[in-house]
Structure 1
Amino acid sequence: MKVKVISRSTDEFTRERSNDLQRVFRNFDPSLRTQEKAVEYVRALNAAKMEKIFARPFVGAMDGHIDSVSCMAKNPNHLKGIFSGSMDGGMLLLCCLVTVNIRLWDIASRRTICQFPGHQGAVRGLTASTDGRILVSCGTDCTVRLWNVPLATGMESDDSSDNSAKQLAAYVWKNAFWAVDHQCDGNLFATAGAQVDIWDHNRSQPVNSFEWGKDTVISVRFNPGEPNVLATSASDRSIAIYDLRMSSPTTKLIMRTRTNSISWNPMEPMNFTAFLLLEILDNVWWWSTVLLLHDIVIGGSAFCLHFGIAIYMDNGQANEDCSCYSYDARKLDEAKCVHKDHVSAVMDIDYSPTGREFVTGSYDRTIRIFQYNGGHSREIYHTKRMQRVFCVKFSCDGSYVISGSDDTNLRLWKANASEQLGVLLPRERKNHEYREAVKNRYKHLPEVKRIVRHRHLPKPIFKASALRRIMIDAERKKDERRRAHSAPGSIPRESIRKKRIIKEIE
């Protein structure tokens, strides 16, 4: 008689230690799992909901300035370091002259490491050398100052009075400066003002100057891949590209509206993104006029610089373009992508070190994160106390976003709102990866897509977005009717990627 017995090894199902996980046996035969797609869909739906539940992007605020934060710069030599400059230079406070308007912060502890006193006016530009040892600052007091950046070995408190940095040099010029940027590889840096000036660390006079037109240059940015190429934007609605190896500018792009800032893509150095500031329309009601005037009243004399802008908007003749445009420097006759969502002027822009996304700060008191090829933002950050955002930066590792606003504070945000901070266990990491994978697999389905894309907006921004959609639809219908009652071909259709470009000059 033949008897069949069940023979198995205890090593296959027995734990070696009591705290080990129980081994689970699975059969991956598709015929035994008829509800596989349905189960994965439910998991994707739950993953999207849990992402919303755990979305806590705000990390903390850094307080210390007594006026609006106007500019920031990253410290290449210190992952946790960030420089900030404000408009409090030379302010008379309690019968003493306050000139501490540049600070070096430690992001981890959110405390001031070092202060850089010296400017007698608003600081408009900050940049650090490639090795992070020299900080270059410029402002409305017509001076360029070079500072020795101390090593961030010890943490100083905000109340410390002996943590001031040493000034290496101060170069006085005949015009005010609006921006500065350092060469990625070399000892040269460029300033923007009445013209574009190229400076060397060891010379008190510019080694080269470029001038194309008589209008003020308001921003300058060196190319991260080609150290001799830089891009500027001016108040005459132009974007110009310069090459330091040539005696004259190379290309100039005339836009319909003014470009306030430029940022190059670090992974695709031939591409850059810019945004347009103002567009003149007829009989347009501006939703935030009262809000802007209210901010100016509570801010006092420190905000008098923006008073003229608010009065101009109060006339009902101005509307913001509110969009960012990505260009290829080799083909400037058409934008590669148009990034929309802001309802007011975009004030600053910065790319992530990965080059896959960028962050923008706007006059509508919000921060948005865009994909480099996305037409709409994937994330929006806002708080009740945060006012108009003047500068934004990605951290050196791309994990955080730092913003500087009109309420004198720097704020630290997570680049991924639902990201878990701290050390993750292997099981937690695998769980996060699985949730992200299953969510991306079913992100095209309506319910998952709705949950992932939905964002709660402040009431003024929600109303302004609805009003802007009505205005755009009305303009589109008007063009269609005008085209229908005109001769065929007399009114050509114009692409939105070419609509803001007037001409290209070489």
Structure 2
Amino acid sequence: MNIKVKVLSRNPDDYLRETKHDIHRLPRNYDPTLHPFEANREYTRALNATKLDRIFAKPFLGALDGHSDSVQCMSKHPKSLSTLLSGSCDGQVKVWNLATRKCVRTLNAHRGFVRGITVDRNCEYILTVGNDQTIKQWGMEPAASRELEEPVNTIIGKTVFTSIDHHWKDPVYATCGQQVDLWDTSRADPVRSFTWGTDSIQSVKFNPVETNILASCTQDRHIVLYDTREVTPLRKLTLAMRTNTVAWNPMEAFIFTAANEDYQLYTFDMRRLDEAICVHRDHVSAVIDVDYSPTGKEFVTGSFDKSIRIFPTTESRSREVYHTKRMRHVSCVKWSLDNRYILCGSDEMNIRIWKASASEKLGKLDKREESTVEYSNKLREKFAHHPQVRRIARHRHVPRSIYHETKIIKEQLTSRKRKETNRRKNNKPESIPVVPIKKKAIVGEVE
């Protein structure tokens, strides 16, 4: 004979707090008619979350101290998050372990400046170029005797190489100097060379999505695009001032950002170069380097004004600015492949490590902390355009030099706008056309 017995069963997790079991959870009715002050309470919580975000914003994590001269270039390891390579003006290349913040390997690579470093995609060797007109190939694993470590292969060029970048899939790399050369790792002569009547070329970058496309920046203000499958370059864009380097968006194949000498950055679509997609302004001196985040939504810039800034790709103003008292002119920046850290090298021989999100808590978060962070982020996003929340979120303390230069640049822009307005008032209608800011810096385009 079967007897059915009904039993009341209660799970303590449903009505007791997970940390303190003497605190009972209260049931809540989410009917909006019962909560007339819900928006007011959420606004107060958003305001407090914004204030706490600024209070706990401590982005600086540490420095890698070991170089004896200015840091000139850096390179990320394609497969190891904890490995960083850096080259300095005294010809040394150092391999760092970011987890321990120690130098694990030092290479006396070149005589003079190290102009570029790259790692092949199979992580078998390191390629470096320098002022001594050589391309050197080093094994990824250190030799038994580190003091007498020699390169695996050395290629002597006819001119100084100023930059190097490796193809994202094939055993091919590109260098630049007086021209752009395409090399195969198994050959001592370039497979192909590209020229287009330009001055010396200072930077070359492969596209991570359309891997056959690469871009270069020249001393005479050009940005030149190439296709490795073609014999001649594709297109050439001329700007009002020189571009120091470019960075490709890793998520959008045709988008790249150019770091310019006119204190600004320009994001272009390579299919339509007659107008910039966005002009990014906030630096007060020449922008030296730029690197995208792995998500493609933001990029970091390093400038001669001794600061680094983080820009959303679709906005003209930076969301963050990092600086220290000791930091000098920033020469190179990198965004880590896990999207959490930023590295910058500067003239005072240090490599600094920063958090990509200034107030992010490092380490493992429990479920309650994760839900609290997510809820606070949603509230700040919901009330981001309220004046008080926006003012607190945007406020940053910057060095006195940057503060005063910003005021001067603002006065100059106001003066130019006033002058243009007065000229239009005192001339015939439509005799002085209005040029959008996205087209002002573009001098011409050649296909």
TM-score range, shorter chain: over 0.9
Q: In structure 2, do the counterparts of structure 1 residues 163 and 432 end up closer, same or farther at CA, with 3 Å as the change threshold?
A: farther
Moved over 6 A (4+): none
Measured in 1, the distance between the counterparts of 2:196 and 2:355 equals 40
Give percent identity, aligned residues only.
Answer: 44
| TM-score, normalised with respect to structure 1 | 0.84
What's the CA shift for 1:30?
Answer: 2.2
**Aligned positions of 1:2-81 closer than 5 A:** 11=10, 20=21, 22-81=24-83
Q: In structure 2, do the counterparts of structure 1 residues 410 and 189 end up closer, same or farther at CA, with 3 Å as the change threshold?
A: same
**Aligned positions of 1:226-305 closer than 5 A:** 226-277=210-261
Q: In structure 2, do the counterparts of structure 1 residues 111 and 490 end up closer, same or farther at CA, with 3 Å as the change threshold?
A: same
Per-residue deviation, residues 144-179 of structure 1 (Å, max 9, x unmatched)? 11111128xxxxxxxx98387652111010100111
CA contact (8 A) 1:402 1:412 kept: yes
Per-residue deviation, residues 262-301 of structure 1 (Å, max 9, x unmatched)? 0000000110000221xxxxxxxxxxxxxxxxxxxxxxxx
Question: Match for residue 209 of structure 1?
Answer: 193
Measured in 1, the distance between the counterparts of 2:258 and 2:434 equals 24
Q: Structure 1: state its 5+ residue gaps.
A: 1-7, 90-100, 152-159, 278-320
Per-residue deviation, residues 44-72 of structure 1 (Å, max 9, x unmatched)? 00000000011000000001111110100
CA contact (8 A) 1:68 1:87 kept: yes
- Identify which of 124, 130, 137 aligns with 1:139: 130
- Identify which of 168, 180, 202 aligns with 1:184: 168
CA contact (8 A) 2:298 2:313 kept: yes
CA contact (8 A) 2:17 2:25 kept: no
Measured in 1, the distance between the counterparts of 2:60 and 2:422 equals 47
Alignment partner of 1:126 is 2:117: yes
Q: In structure 2, do the counterparts of structure 1 residues 16 and 257 end up closer, same or farther at CA, with 3 Å as the change threshold?
A: closer
Measured in 2, the distance between the counterparts of 1:177 and 1:53 equals 46
Alignment partner of 1:487 is 2:428: yes
| TM-score, normalised with respect to structure 2 | 0.94
Per-residue deviation, residues 368-409 of structure 1 (Å, max 9, x unmatched)? 000011110000000000000000000011100000000000
Question: Match for residue 107 of structure 1?
Answer: 98
What's the CA shift for 1:18?
Answer: 8.8
What's the CA shift for 1:34?
Answer: 1.8
CA contact (8 A) 2:306 2:330 kept: yes
CA contact (8 A) 1:149 1:165 kept: no
Question: Match for residue 374 of structure 1?
Answer: 315
**Aligned positions of 1:74-473 closer than 5 A:** 74-89=76-91, 101-150=92-141, 162=146, 167-277=151-261, 321-473=262-414
CA contact (8 A) 2:247 2:257 kept: yes
Per-residue deviation, residues 388-440 of structure 1 (Å, max 9, x unmatched)? 00000000111000000000000000000000001111111111111101111
CA contact (8 A) 1:147 1:165 kept: no
CA contact (8 A) 2:120 2:126 kept: yes
Per-residue deviation, residues 166-212 of structure 1 (Å, max 9, x unmatched)? 52111010100111111111011111101101111111111111111
Give, as a single letter, the amino acid of the residue that structure 1 aligns with 2:132. Answer: D
What's the CA shift for 1:244?
Answer: 1.2
Aligned length: 437
Measured in 2, the distance between the counterparts of 1:260 and 1:497 equals 19
The alignment's C-alpha RMSD in Å is 1.9
